[in-house]
Structure 1
Amino acid sequence: MAFGIAEDPALSVTPHLDAADYPISREDLVELAEDDGAPADVINLFKSLPRPSYESKEMVLRDLGEASRRMSVGPALRDDEKYDRRNIARDRVEGHPGGAGKHP
């Protein structure tokens, strides 16, 4: 999916997430993407989301980011003991050396 530079913008999930009214169920998100003419890759990505419903766009993006991390290769796959995955990035934000960070 269009996560970085030089990726196909047609595969971006953002326009479909922006068009949604939250909270939204996974099935309604899939239906919305289909109605918007999203490519099959985006529709299948939404179908594979782990939760049955989402309270916000950020919640969807967090699950997509976690799925992307889990499908990666290399040392990122072996860091589950180091980080608490129930609240992604909390350890990194709250453990900031300046002590300025606090996870929302």
Structure 2
Amino acid sequence: MTRGLGGHAPANITHYLKGMDFPASRQDLEQCAKDNGAEKEVLETIHGMPDGKFETMADVMKAYGKEH
């Protein structure tokens, strides 16, 4: 079940990134989300984030905020 509107709620992102080791690249985030069964909308949201290294989950949420 998709959480939030269109699958874009911050809780959706963090849910599918459980177990993520940091630092991580956007590609690492995408792979972790895929491995955790993320829906298409979640993967598209992560794919839209800037490329680079994320040091913590807080960095991921900042990037998410800039996208939305």
Global fold match (TM > 0.5):
yes
Name the counterpart of 2:58: 58
Name the counterpart of 2:49: 49
Read off the aligned partner of 2:62 and give its amino acid letter.
R
Q: Within 5 Å, which residues of 2 pair with 1:25-36?
A: 25-36=25-36
With the length of structure 1 as denominator, give the TM-score of the two structures.
0.53
Structure 1 unaligned regions, length at least 5: 4-8, 69-104
Structure 2 unaligned regions, length at least 5: 1-7
Matches of 2:41 and 2:9, distance apart in 1:
11
Of all paired residues, the percent bearing the same amino acid is 30
Shift of 1:50: 0.8
Structure with larger Rg = 1
With the length of structure 2 as denominator, give the TM-score of the two structures.
0.77
Moved over 3 A (4+): none
User: What root-mean-square deviation, in Å, do the aligned CA atoms of Structure 1 and Structure 2 show?
Assistant: 1.6
Name the counterpart of 1:40: 40
Q: Within 5 Å, which residues of 2 pair with 1:5-44?
A: 12-44=12-44
Matches of 2:27 and 2:51, distance apart in 1:
10
Looking at secondary structure, tell me which structure has more helix per residue.
2
Read off the aligned partner of 1:26 and give its amino acid letter.
R
Asked which structure has the greater RCO (Cα within 8 Å, sep 6+), the reply is 2
Read off the aligned partner of 2:9 and give its amino acid letter.
A
Aligned residues: 61
